[in-house]
Structure 1
Amino acid sequence: MPTLAANATRMPRSGIRAVMDVAWTIPDVIGLHVGEPSFVTPDHVLDGARLALDRHETRYVPNAGILPLREAIAAKVATHNGITASPGQVVVSAGGMQALYLALAASVSRGDEVLVPDPGWPNFAMAVQLLQARPVRYPLRPENGFQPDPADLDRLVTARTRAMIVNSPSNPLGTVLTPAHAEALCRFADAYDLWLISDECYDAITFDVPHVSPAAWDEAGRVLSCFSFSKTYAMTGMRVGYLVAPPKVAAVTSIMQEPLLSCVNAPAQRAALAALSGGGDFVELMRRTYQERRDKAAALLDEAGIGYHLPHGAFYLWLDVRDRCGGDVTDWALRLLNAEHVAVAPGTAFGPAGAGWARVCLATKDAALLEGLRRLVEFRD
């Protein structure tokens, strides 16, 4: 039997799966470990897909996506993200993850280095390794509000550094870049001639502060912005995202779609178009609900004396369990799961800097979220 590719076999499995695999075997688990909206997909979005099916729109469409959707996306990013882009700069992808993969595949080669956040979504490092590049973790520290520190970044750049990934609002931290940080990251990328790949999957979900897109400060055509419909419109299974990139990058990534997936399925694209065409009340209701859950969870934890990082975006709470986990947060999470039937994501699933922390998903409905946190507070083994 031929050997498998080394870059495939050495790619680590997501640490969240260690909890998920056990959670599936336990009845009545309160799941606070998976980031999926508790809301159902809005009717107007489903109607967009139904109409496409009724019209038999089930054939191939352009690699970059249907023109009406790309036009609507270009209008959306101009209004909501401060990004001036033509429809030709938009490439529709199979979810935000594929937009990120497109951006990486177009910008890094074998042996290149990519700066990735720590703590950060594990798929960043996984995708970089799959492309035979090397992820280099840059720390996000509690004392800095989990914002990138230019001094840390400077120390990590080498002759092989090709790109940097930023994520705002952050999964797992819930941090949101300030305008000053976003501009500073663009200038950092300018100084070292790097691609800046910006994951903005949760751009519609912020609390108390506005979302800012680094591309609004892009002066050299080096920011590749990745977005998703999944979390904003509860469309996780429909798999529609998009990449907004400078014209030359968009042209290349559009061609890359052909061997990767040809095109995103037409009914899902029509659903995404319907999502952008209406449903503002749904997005605001969802955002407000997550903020209310955040505040209820914070009040419970404050009363219990458990530390956490208050999120200003996305729908996660970064929980400080350093005085509870005994050094191995994954083992602690599994003990919590078996004893209390509460599943949380261990912080080390998001990088070494996550040691002693756990991610709690606020997308879970109120009653389950608060009951799960009560059990966590009371858990002592």
Structure 2
Amino acid sequence: MFKLAARAQQLSPSPTLAVDARAKELQQRGEKVINFGAGEPDFDTPEHIKEAARRAIDEGYTKYTPVAGLWLLRQAISEKLYRDNGLSYTPEEIVVSCGAKHSLYNALQVLLNPGDEAIIPVPYWTSYPEQVKLAGGKPVLVPALESDGFKLSSENLQAAITPRTRVLILNSPGNPTGAVYRRQELERLAEVALAADLWIISDEIYEKLIYDGEEHVSIASLAPEIKERTVVVNGVSKAYAMTGWRIGYAAANREVVKAMVNLQSHSTSNPTAVAQMAALAALTGPQEPVEEMRCSFQRRRDLIWQGLNSLPGVRCSRPAGAFYVFPDVSQLLGGRLGGRQVTTAADLALALLDEARVAVVAGAAFGDDRYLRFSYALGEEDLIEGLQRLRAWLLAATGGG
């Protein structure tokens, strides 16, 4: 009898992509769905980046590149990390991969041995536990409480460490909560991590999308000894509306990067050459489109945050970064809504899609089923219409309208 490998059987499909696929299926049938599910900017890739890709094709950038990525791109990443984050990495300490997700996967593959533990703050991005399991590791899920701004406290980190703990995964600004760690918070976490001899994987893919005067601080920038134990992961997907181009990168000490390059040489080889040239244009070209997008996201953040907090049974913290809100809907769970049983946030998400044609992702996908995740990476008109649909459905379902 045919049997899949154990590592394949223990994986779950991405719930965020599943919701997006279901919403798009309804849209293809001619129905208008307001899709708060997808985690990608609705903006087009800036024109100068697309033009760089067209020029790259004309100039013959259609062959293999070094596995670690084009030297010119790694040099541009090196300059970006110094300019924006105060981090000094040579091009030899940088590896370019097929998206930040690929960079995270490579890092966990080379850092974890079977049975090693990786601490993941909850709520978490859906792929972190699955990637840890793929590396043979054990995800250790540690609450990052809403009362702490959805940020892991040093006390909770310390309590979770065992002799098998090897990695701490941090994501700031965070998905799904939009939480942004401040310098002092990172310093306390770094102190605990260093004392336990942990590796830190710092996912900074949303670093350009920060609001209210908050500052992005890379934990690797705090001290040389922390930098030596950190893998910084970033990419061009979110800041430059380049999700489909699939270019991410990691920066770390040479030993770790060499291992990641060796691994990549036997999986994907190099990232797409044309996409690398587009990423080079993104990092070295005009940055005004990034700021325009950030300002637009901040306006949308304010709209959706205020709108959700006006709904019956919904309470929403204001995120400081990324393009997600993570409202608490626990008051709506455990009974009947609109004639159907709504026990979990997943039940509520399904009801909203079926009856209000509003797509959201249930919090269970991120480790906490009291919440829903809304992406506000959609146009303001759709955002407002989505809130109106939610209000109408909830008022009818709760007997308030």
TM-score category (smaller protein): over 0.9
Mean Cα deviation higher: 170-179 or 183-192: 183-192
* 1:374 partner amino acid: Q
Q: Deviation above 4 Å: which 4+ runs of structure 1?
A: none
C-alpha deviation, 1:3, in angstroms: 3.0
CA deviation after TM superposition for structure 1 residue 301, in Å = 3.0
By how many angstroms is 1:113 displaced? 0.9
Q: What SS does the aligned partner of 1:323 have?
A: helix
- Pairing 1:307–2:315 present: yes
Distance 1:147 1:249 in 2: 27
Corresponding residue for residue 289 of structure 1: 296
Question: Does 1:19 pair with 2:19?
Answer: yes
Bigger mean CA offset, 295-304 vs 80-89:
295-304
- Residue 226 of structure 1 deviates from its aligned partner by 0.5
The RMSD of aligned alpha carbons is 1.4
Deviation, structure 1 residue 320: 1.7
| Conserved? CA contact 2:153–2:189, under 8 Å | no
> Matched residues in 1 for 2:309 and 2:62: separation?
52
1:340 counterpart residue number: 356
Counterpart of 1:91 in structure 2 is 95
Q: Deviations over 1:154-180 (max 9, x none)?
A: 221111111010000000000001001
Displacement of 1:218 in angstroms is: 4.2
Task: Indicate whether 1:108 and 2:124 are aligned.
Answer: no
Q: For residues 112 and 136 of structure 2, what CA distance do their matches in structure 1 show?
A: 9
Q: Give the structure, 1 or 2, with the largest relative contact order (CA under 8 Å, sep 6 or more).
A: 1
Query: Which residue among 317, 321, 327 is the counterpart of 1:319?
Result: 327
Q: 1: distance between equivalents of 2:269 and 2:101?
A: 16
For residues 2 and 62 of structure 1, the distance between their equivalents in structure 2, rounded to whole angstroms, comes to 38
Give CA deviations for 1:66-95 in whole Å, capped at 9, x if unaligned: 111111100101111121111111101100
* Counterpart AA for 2:299: E
| Aligned equivalents of 1:299, 1:189: Cα separation in 2 | 37
Among 133, 138, 141, the residue aligned to 1:134: 138
Segments of 5+ residues of structure 1 without an aligned counterpart are none
Identity %: 39
> SS at the partner of 1:285?
helix
C-alpha contact 1:186 1:218 (8 A) present in aligned 2: no
Match in the other structure for 1:170: 174
Q: With the length of structure 1 as denominator, give the TM-score of the two structures.
A: 0.96
How far apart in 1 are the matches of 2:235 and 2:332?
36
Give distance in 1, aligned partners of 2:63 and 2:235.
23
Q: Deviations over 1:42-89 (max 9, x none)?
A: 111111111110012111111111111111100101111121111111
**Matched residues in 2 for 1:196 and 1:158: separation?**
15
Deviation sequence 1:318-358 (CA, Å, 0-9, x none): 1121112334000110001111000011111101xx22211
Partner SS, residue 55 of structure 2: helix
Residues 272-317 of structure 1 show CA distances to partners (whole Å, capped at 9, x for unaligned) of 0001111311000000000011112223234446311111110001
| Corresponding residue number in structure 2 for 1:234 | 241
Following superposition of structure 1 onto structure 2, how do residues 237-252 of structure 1 map, counting pairs within 5 Å?
237-252=244-259
CA contact (8 A) 2:328 2:372 kept: yes
- AA aligned to 1:346 is A
1:14-93 equivalent positions in 2, closer than 5 A: 14-17=14-17, 19-26=19-26, 27-93=31-97
Structure 2 gaps of 5+ residues are 335-342
The residue that corresponds to 2:200 in the other structure is 196
Q: Tell me the residue number matched to 1:368.
A: 382
- CA drift of 1:249 comes to 1.2
Cα-to-partner distance string for 1:119-144 (whole Å, 9 max, x where unaligned): 11010011111112111101110111
Structure-2 separation of matches of 1:83 and 1:143: 31
Structure 2 residue aligned with 1:277, among 275, 284, 290? Answer: 284
Q: Secondary structure of 1:379's match?
A: helix
CA distance in 2, matches of 1:377, 1:24: 23
Match of 2:218 in 1: 213
Q: Take 2:128 and 2:176, find their aligned partners in 1: how far apart are those partners?
A: 12
Q: What is the number of residues matched between the two proteins?
A: 379
Separation (CA, whole Å) in 2 of partners of 1:10 and 1:63: 30
